[in-house]
Structure 1
Amino acid sequence: MDSETVERVRDVVRAIPPGETLSYGEVAELAGLRSARLVGRILAEDGGDLPWHRVTRADGTAAPHIAAEQAARLRAEGVLMVDGRLPREHRRR
């Protein structure tokens, strides 16, 4: 993947305000990509300095390996996950 693609994804994620979330697919769309999976890969490889916790699966859940930390970070921003899922009012779609 090229550095321009990585930077577009990073810019979109960086712009998500505290207390709001986007799905991987929404980030992909805003970055001009067709693959939500590519967004996940970019965040896994180059997203440690970004608010990665503001990006969830389309159904409002977190990937199991990051679920506890993601929920804690979102909770610190006033967003509570209910039964491991982000309530609809915190999802754009």
Structure 2
Amino acid sequence: MRIEYVEAVLAIVDLVPDGSAVTYGDVAELLGAGGPRQVGAVLSNYGSAVPWWRVVKAGGQAPEGHEVEALRRYLMEGTPLHGAYEAFLRTGEGRWRVAFPPARWAPTDHDLDSIDGIARLLERRLHELSVADDGMSV
């Protein structure tokens, strides 16, 4: 996976504010590149320095294997939730999820400007790499 893509995904995730969430697909769509699996791979391998818990599956489920830590963070941040999260914290039993649409991040105009800048930079850097690769294949 190209580091340029990794950096762009992490930059977008870093914009998601406390109490909000996006899906893996939302991040790919905002970036205009990759898909949910690519975003998930980035966060799985490089996401520890950004608010990874704010990126969830399309159904609102927390990142697999990190449900307890994610739930603690959601509760600290006041993220809207559905289901038996209190029971889950007490016993490890019960199903819960991030509540969409209330928790879905609605980027401000400033956020959208930042996202556009990140996407343009990624596109430019990948284009430059493509041109450099083409020049080497002669």
TM-score clears 0.5: yes
Query: Structure 2 length as normaliser, TM-score?
Result: 0.62
Query: Structure 1 length as normaliser, TM-score?
Result: 0.89
Once the two structures are TM-superposed, the CA of residue 80 in structure 1 deviates from its matched residue by 4.3
Question: Given residue 87 of structure 1, which amino acid in structure 2 is its aligned partner?
Answer: A
Which stretch shifts more, 81-90 or 34-43?
81-90
Q: In the alignment, what sits opposite 2:29?
A: 29
Question: Given residue 72 of structure 1, which amino acid in structure 2 is its aligned partner?
Answer: R
Given that residues 18 and 79 in structure 2 are in contact (C-alpha distance below 8 angstroms), is that contact kept between their aligned partners in structure 1?
Answer: no
Query: Relative to total residues, which structure has the larger helix share, 1 or 2?
Result: 2
Per-residue CA deviations over 1:34-90 (Å, capped at 9, x if unaligned) read: 310111110011010100010010111123311111111111101143221111211
Name the SS for the 2:19 alignment partner: coil
Question: 1: distance between equivalents of 2:27 and 2:58?
Answer: 11
Equivalent pairs: percent with the same residue? 36
Please, which runs of 5 or more residues in structure 1 have no aligned partner?
Answer: none
Work out the number of aligned pairs and report it.
Answer: 92
Report 1:1-93 matches (<5 A): 1-83=1-83, 84-88=96-100, 89-91=102-104
Given that residues 71 and 80 in structure 1 are in contact (C-alpha distance below 8 angstroms), is that contact kept between their aligned partners in structure 2?
Answer: no
Which stretch shifts more, 42-51 or 27-36?
27-36
Which one has the largest radius of gyration?
2
Q: Which runs of 4+ in 1 moved over 4 A?
A: none
Please, which runs of 5 or more residues in structure 2 have no aligned partner?
Answer: 84-95, 106-138
RMSD: 1.4
Given that residues 60 and 91 in structure 1 are in contact (C-alpha distance below 8 angstroms), is that contact kept between their aligned partners in structure 2?
Answer: no
Which stretch shifts more, 8-17 or 71-80?
71-80
